[in-house]
Amino acid sequence: MSSDLVAAEDVLLFVNAAVTATGQREFRATAGEQRLSLAFLHEYVRVNYRPLYAAALALDINDHNAALIVEALLRTPAEAEPLEGRLIAARLAKMPPQRVYRVFRALRAAGVNNRRTRAIVRDWLAGRPDLAHDAVKYRPGLKAAARHAHLPLPGGHGGETGDFLFAPGRRARYAQPVLEAFRRARHEQGALYELPFTVAEGFAARHGIPREVFLERMASRMTRLERLRNRPAATGADLSVMPLTRLALYVLSLPFGERRERRAELTGALRAAARRVAGPHAGSWGRVAAVLDDSWSSSGSAVKRRRPLAVALGCHFLLEALAAPGAYTAHWTSGARDPLLVRPFGATPLGMRIVDALEDAPERLLIVSDGWDNAPPGLAGEVLRVWRSRLDPQRRTSAVHVNPVYDADVFDVRRLAPGVPTAGIRDAEDLPALVEIARFAEGRERLAGLRAYLDRRVGLFLGGAGDGPADGPLAVAAEGAPDSPPDGPTDEALRAIPDGPSDGVPDGPREGGGW
């Protein structure tokens, strides 16, 4: 087997893991098993295919794995490859701030304080819209980042944000409204309604404010997700603008009676979210048949409750939008006919449902399942093998299996049959992109296309024209010869950072000591 084929297989395996795995407990695996498996896979790909490892930041991987990649790359600056610094900066700009601060705290705990790390921390903080807001909402994270990277906060030694973090007793009042509101909220109930919701919650509990009163008065300052989590009917959440998978999770959390009563509202919201995801591709997939897993294992785990089922429900409505009008059929493993009332139940007769789906002679067959075919075991793989080799060798029907559950034992998602490509999936919104990349797993002739695809995604991610670099990450990995120096912060950016020890240096200002 050629080295470029091995590289292609490895990147597909790693992308599947990076899309699905979160290091949390799954239905059939503990959190410890997940983390151990994921740590080995990250180390293997980083050491053997570092350009591919960095290029994964441009794909639709989840934030947990993106954070692990960023941390691993910054821990090993001597091995840096082209485009690495730009990919890290671009990915951090897309991640939720709390996750970014968590990465910075992990780097501090590991003693990673090289020049490139300090430049990336500085540039990311410089891009934050309101550091005073961060000082209130993400106080430990901002404090750790500033100390570790030796970064003076706006205003120098006399800056209010720096005093708020490191010398809180220095000022009797603050000119910045959010800092002053935080100071007043300790003694004045009205001030807490000027703070971010998550910060105000703690003050509300301290002052003994009834939850209903607090939610009503904070409604205007809550984000859409905060309104959805905290009694959406009372706080006026607009379900029609919620992301598809999160909306599916919300629907599945409702009792059956409420789902029936709100059928028109919930169905309309799910279809609106699916149409937003489908965009210009709506109705372009022709005849589509889906096999959707709502067996007992789709209940997930205590920390990922009903997540696999929510992905299947989201994919159902998205496939309905992508298929030609009236050309979509859904086959739930339980035999359910009403998608709004699905629940995790029973065994997984995937083989029987695949036979049902193929009777419709679809142009596309999509299977959404964790791959544990057990009624009877192995029937789905045998059906797909016979169908592909005997009944449809011309591949008139394209088939793709998307799996929302990472299998720690095999460092990948569980597959159904060698002839049917499998892609990991975490959010239903990623289905179109994952179907595109899954097709590269079907044969050797797909290698050139996979390289071009990865290069195009990197180019688009970095804000280019989408053509990607001439010798993209996969080509570099296969040939083993980077064609330019490691790409990180500019020389001007590095010169702006004071020289000092590369790792393990003291962490800047002392508590209460200013700058």
Per-residue pLDDT tens over the stretch 79-134: 888 789 999 999 999 999 999 999 999 999 999 988 899 999 999 998 998 899 99
pLDDT at 442: 62
Lowest mean pLDDT among 58-62, 358-362, 471-475, 486-490: 486-490
Helix (H, G, I), strand (E, B) or coil at 60: coil
In terms of domains, do 223 and 360 share one?
A: no
Residues 300 and 420 in one domain: yes
Residues 200 and 278 reside in one and the same domain: no
Give the rounded distance of the alpha carbon of 173 from its chain centre. Answer: 40
- Supply the pLDDT for residue 367: 96
Host domain of residue 230: 186-237
Mean pLDDT for the chain overall: 84
- Residues 281 and 420 placed together within one structural domain of the fold: yes
Residue 229 lies in a domain: yes
Q: Would residue 465 count as lying in a domain? A: no
Flag whether 451 is in a domain.
no
* pLDDT tier, 453 (very low <50, low <70, confident <90, very high otherwise): confident
State mean pLDDT over 136-159.
79
Give the total number of structural domains in the chain: 2
Specify whether the CB–CB gap between 87 and 488 falls below 8 A.
no
Percent of the chain with pLDDT over 70: 84
Range in 18-27, 160-169, 361-370, 446-455 with the lowest mean pLDDT: 446-455
pLDDT of residue 2: 61
Q: What is the pLDDT of residue 479?
A: 41
Mean pLDDT of 236-244: 75
What is the mean pLDDT of the segment spanning 437-457? 69
Domain final residue, candidates 442, 465, 489: 442
- pLDDT tens digits, 311-343: 999 999 999 999 999 999 999 999 999 999 999
Same domain assignment for residues 192 and 252: no
pLDDT > 90? residue 483: no
Residue 506 is predicted with a pLDDT of 36
Q: What is the mean pLDDT of residues 479-484?
A: 37
What CA–CA distances, in Å, run from 378 to 254, 416, 427, 434, 441? 34, 8, 27, 25, 21
371 and 253 in a common domain: yes
Instruction: Flag whether pLDDT at 434 surpasses 90.
Output: no
For the chain, the maximum distance between any two Cα atoms, rounded to a whole number of angstroms, is 81
Q: Examine the domain organization and report whether 332 and 383 are in the same domain.
A: yes
* 154 — pLDDT class (breaks 50, 70, 90): low
Instruction: Return d(Cα 93, Cα 63) in angstroms, integer.
Output: 12
Residue that finishes a domain, picked among 197, 215, 237: 237
Does residue 13 fall inside a structural domain?
no
Question: Is 331 within a domain?
Answer: yes
Residue 77, pLDDT > 50, answer yes
Please give the pLDDT value at position 502: 37
Residue 213 shares a structural domain with residue 327: no
The span from the CA of 15 to the CA of 65, in Å, is 10
CA atoms within 13 A on the CB side of 175: 4
pLDDT score recorded for residue 235: 45
Q: Which of 405, 421, 442 corresponds to the end of one domain?
A: 442
253 located within any domain: yes
Residues 401/416, Cβ–Cβ less than 8 Å: yes
Q: What confidence tens digit (pLDDT) does each residue in 373-430 have?
A: 888 898 999 999 999 888 888 889 999 999 999 998 888 899 998 888 899 999 999 9
Q: Tell me, yes or no, whether 284 lies in a domain.
A: yes
Are 364 and 414 in a shared domain?
A: yes
Question: What token pair was written down for 475?
Answer: 């080509």
Percentage of the residues of the chain whose pLDDT score is greater than 90 = 56
User: Do 267 and 412 share a domain, yes or no?
Assistant: yes
Same domain, yes or no: 422 and 358: yes
In a domain, 259, yes or no: yes
In the beta sheet, which residues pair with residue 35? none
In this structure, what token pair is assigned to residue 284? 């372009």
pLDDT at 232: 54
CATH number of the CATH domain containing 275: 3.40.50
pLDDT value at residue 81: 80
pLDDT band for position 184 (50/70/90)? very high
**pLDDT for 237 beyond 80:** no
Do 197 and 260 share a domain, yes or no?
no
Whether 344 contacts 299, CB under 8 Å: yes
